[in-house]
Amino acid sequence: MLAAGKGTRMKSQVPKVLHRISGFALVERVLRTAEAVSPATITLVVGHGADEVKAVLAGSRQTLQFVVQEQQLGTGHALLQTRALLEGKQGVVVLLSGDVPLLTGNTLRSLIETHANCKAAATVVTAEMPRPFGYGRIVRTSGRISKIVEERDASPAQRKITEINSGIYAFDLAPLFGALDSIGTANNQGEYYLPDLVAIYRKQKRTVATWTVDRAEEIRGINSRTELAEVSSMVRQQKNEELMAAGVTLIDPATTYIDSDVVVGADTVIHPCVFLEGSTKIGAACEIHAGSRIVNSTLGDRVCVRNHTVVTDSTVESGSFLGPFAHIRPGSQIGEDVHIGNFVELKKTAIGKGAKANHLAYLGDATIGSATNVGAGTITCNYDGEKKHQTVIGNNVFVGSNSTLVAPVKLADGAYIAAGSAVTQDVPAGALGIGRARQENKEGWREKRRQKSSA
């Protein structure tokens, strides 16, 4: 896979192939496509931003190896960099481009099949493009491919050709590196053009085959932010269609943003402007309301996520309600039939079956039992300025409104905390914990004050 180019038109500090579509870097998408044909090895030619690309992919797969193309002298030169790794081996090299993320495994299978059936030295994936500007054109004589000419080197007649080179090929390994050596730089850009291999092979009387994709979109490359957005929208649309076909209701697919690996169960209803990201799994018959974002989280069945709720790296069991405006931060585990209401924030907190925290609370580093009620304004003071501490709340506890639970602290099963308490000591099972100044009423105080001030 060629991934050494700078991607000048992206105007980016980030290497082009690390730009993301629906949760995955472009290069990751192409790698997944490559894996559809179970290659023995995958060799990535990196150059611009080589270290960053390597760092992102390091250890992701055993089959992956890297070569660095120090200077980008053209696609022919790029493929030559793999010589030390591939020369002398037998079989087929499929050449892919790191910036062509819509390519499918089916196309690769067809390419390899055609290549084998034709016993070709090279097979070129081509496409029909009504507006072929910028692409290399497939020149045929008596119906057979004779060469590829780049836009800049093409004659006016050749520019009219609408069959284009996708930049994706299969090569028989045996003659490949010898032929690559004979590619020159006598062209408009002074680069080593890999497509020149076609004419070289034809001169050597070797077979060059072609395979034409049905949908030209599939071989679209990404060169600019506009193309990134266009292709992103195509990827999203396809994901949305798959989900709808599987029984998910999307109120407005155009404004629903679901990453490629996300799973959603049937009869779940997803409202506009919802983002489901990463490895998120949503069960059946859930309802996710507008403005919510769920990242790397698992939701059971019949979960209702009300508007503008954010859930990250957490699990929510069946039948629970979240939001509106709830913030479920990483490491939270919400049990069955739990109610988390508006302006409630959870962090690394487990909350048991049927428990409720309906309004305005911060629950961090806490374990909360089943059927417990956490009143409005309850805060776990989990941080003493140096360390984080745990709050452990049992089953069927009642935490009165506006309580501050100063961790580490335990409220045993059935404990009852008076509203407005600052709880600094453990509360035994079934006990009432009151941690506030007792109220005092002074009879007739107001009238006495009035008399005093008028005297």
Q: What residues make contact with ligand UD1 under the rule CB under 6 A? A: 2-5, 45, 47, 69, 72-75, 77-78, 97-99, 135-136, 148, 150, 164-167, 193-195, 221
Q: For residues 53 and 374, which CB has a smaller minimum distance to ligand UD1 in the complex?
A: 53
For the question of residue 271 being annotated catalytic, the response is no
At closest approach, how far in Å is the CB of 249 from ligand UD1?
A: 38
Contacts to Mg ion from residues 178-237, by CB under 5 A: 221
Q: Indicate which of Mg ion, ligand UD1, none lies near residue 341 (CB less than 5 to 8 Å, by partner kind).
A: none
Does residue 101 interact with Mg ion by CB under 5 A? no
Q: For residues 4 and 92, which CB has a smaller minimum distance to ligand UD1 in the complex?
A: 4
> Could you say which of 115, 271, 308, 359 is catalytic?
359
At closest approach, how far in Å is the CB of 145 from ligand UD1?
A: 12
Name every residue whose Cβ is closer than 8 Å to that of residue 391 and which is 6 or more positions away in sequence: 363, 365, 366, 367, 380, 382, 405, 407, 408, 409, 410, 411
Residue 43 half-sphere exposure, CB side, CA atoms within 13 Å? 18
At closest approach, how far in Å is the CB of 316 from ligand UD1?
A: 41
Q: Indicate which of Mg ion, ligand UD1, none lies near residue 280 (CB less than 5 to 8 Å, by partner kind).
A: none
Question: By the 8 A CB rule, do 107 and 218 touch?
Answer: yes
At closest approach, how far in Å is the CB of 62 from Mg ion?
A: 29
At closest approach, how far in Å is the CB of 105 from ligand UD1?
A: 19
Q: For residues 213 and 328, which CB has a smaller minimum distance to Mg ion in the complex?
A: 213
Q: For residues 108 and 393, which CB has a smaller minimum distance to ligand UD1 in the complex?
A: 108
Q: For residues 189 and 425, which CB has a smaller minimum distance to ligand UD1 in the complex?
A: 189
Q: For residues 158 and 358, which CB has a smaller minimum distance to ligand UD1 in the complex?
A: 158
Does residue 400 interact with Mg ion by CB under 5 A? no
Q: Which residues pair with 432 in a beta bridge?
A: 416
Query: Which residue is it, tokens 């506030």?
Result: 436
Q: Which residues pair with 256 in a beta bridge?
A: 274
Does residue 132 interact with Mg ion by CB under 5 A? no
At closest approach, how far in Å is the CB of 223 from ligand UD1?
A: 7
Residues annotated as catalytic (active site), given as ranges: 359
The site for Mg ion (CB under 5 A) is made up of: 221
